[in-house]
Amino acid sequence: MKTQPYKQDTGKLAYKVGVTLDRFIKSKQQDFPFATGELSQILRDIALASKIVSREISRAGLSDVTGSFGQTNIQGEEQQKLDVVANVRFTRALTKGGEVCAVVSEEEDLVIDLQNSKGKYVVAIDPLDGSSNIDVNVSIGTIFSIYRRKTPTGSPIQEQDVLQKGSEQVAAGYVLYGSSTMLVYSTGNGANGFTYERSLGEFFLSHPQMQMPADGGIYTINEGLTPYINPNILSYLEGCKRKGASARYIGSLVADFHRNLLKGGIYLYPATSQAPNGKIRLMYEANALAFIAEQVGGAASDGTKRILDIVPENLHQRTPIYIGSKNMVSGLEKALSV
């Protein structure tokens, strides 16, 4: 039978739309000879839930999902309605996806056992980060970490399955609900960013192999904390200012981290006299962003060591965090070691 090769190029008529997240995940799966597609499925589940949450956020002012939910979480923080919506959406998607056995969430006191005897993975998630910005239409995000369980599938979930060091993450990432919705993730081979094309319901590769500048002109800290923090940090910040650095603070960790990743900068949430371990949670905020930071050539420290080397002791523990451009983080560590 006579056949003809497929002619790709149709000029501007059908411009290329780019690589979808799904195709990208599939293409990268080949990097892992023993890959079984389970991790890929979890990434798809997270992408699906983030599309739904992005829709809920974008129409929040028109539907009854703004304001307080009227309950507090284990950290004594007032839960926002959208916190709860996002928590349900991600947990449901991970349950339906069938590859996860347990979820650690900022909105849940204890580990959620998904009663999934074949689930090999544990997910730690901050369903909606930047709560103080939810109702004021400022960028917020989702942060996730993926670990392989340590104990045999089907056996009861043990502490060792959940309280794993950040260096044991098999994948991590975040979703930024900003002027556009973006998903950035890594499976340990660099980090890639995808932008959500709402009209097609697809994430498309927009930021391949992201790189963070080794130095930057931005420092990001809640200046209101300065009376209560280590004076060495203040002199470090003075040094940054003298080098011409500018202050930028959105108050949403994901948004502040993402900007500094693209432009170069450092985010600092130190220990304070009131909060000796700072504010940021290790398991579902710091570890994932530290994983991404290192994958894009940046660094993340608690002031003395890599965030990824911290051995977790409890689900909701906090850690001081200094994350961003490599040379700025090492400069901070030097300032703190004086």
Shortest Cβ distance from residue 50 to ligand FBP (Å)? 15
Strand partners, 102: 113, 122
Binding-site residue total for ligand FBP (CB under 6 A)?
A: 13
155 in a known ligand binding site = no
Shortest Cβ distance from residue 108 to ligand FBP (Å)? 13
List the one residue from 97, 130, 216, 303 that touches ligand FBP (CB under 6 A).
Answer: 130
Residue 222 binds ligand FBP (CB under 6 A)? yes
List the one residue from 51, 258, 259, 279 that touches ligand FBP (CB under 6 A).
Answer: 279
* 186/252 with CB nearer ligand FBP: 252
279 in a known ligand binding site = yes
Strand-strand pairing, 299-301 and 321-324 = antiparallel
HEC-encoded secondary structure of the chain: CCCCCCCCCCCCCCCCCCCEHHHHHHHHHCCCCCCCCHHHHHHHHHHHHHHHHHHHHHCHHHCCCCCEEEEECCCCCEEEHHHHHHHHHHHHHHHHHCCEEEEEECCCCCCEECCCCCCCEEEEEEEEECHHHHHHCCCEEEEEEEEECCCCCCCCCCHHHHCCCHHHCCEEEEEEECCCEEEEEECCCCEEEEEEECCCCEEEEEECCCCCCCCCCEEECCHHHHHHCCHHHHHHHHHHHHCCCEECCCCCHHHHHHHHHHHCCEEEECCCCCCCCCCCEHHHHHHHHHHHHHHCCCEEECCCCEHHHCCCCCCCCECCEEEECHHHHHHHHHHHHC
Residue 126 binds ligand FBP (CB under 6 A)? yes
Residue 253 binds ligand FBP (CB under 6 A)? yes
Residue 41 binds ligand FBP (CB under 6 A)? no
Residue 300 binds ligand FBP (CB under 6 A)? no
CA 300, CA 313: separation in Å to the nearest integer? 19
130 in a known ligand binding site = yes
Residue 86 binds ligand FBP (CB under 6 A)? no
Residue 251 binds ligand FBP (CB under 6 A)? yes
CA 279, CA 269: separation in Å to the nearest integer? 7
* 25/184 with CB nearer ligand FBP: 184
Shortest Cβ distance from residue 260 to ligand FBP (Å)? 12
* 51/279 with CB nearer ligand FBP: 279
9 in a known ligand binding site = no
Tokens of 99: 């590859």
Residue 318 binds ligand FBP (CB under 6 A)? no
Shortest Cβ distance from residue 208 to ligand FBP (Å)? 26
Residue 273 binds ligand FBP (CB under 6 A)? no
In contact, 52 and 8? CB cutoff 8 Å: no
222 in a known ligand binding site = yes
* 157/225 with CB nearer ligand FBP: 225
List the one residue from 68, 71, 132, 273 that touches ligand FBP (CB under 6 A).
Answer: 132
Residue 252 binds ligand FBP (CB under 6 A)? yes
- Which residues lie near ligand FBP (CB under 6 A)? 77, 106, 126, 129-132, 222, 251-253, 256, 279
Residues tagged in the binding site annotation for Mg(2+): 106, 126, 128-129, 285
Q: Which residues participate in the annotated binding site for substrate?
A: 129-132, 222, 249, 267-269, 279
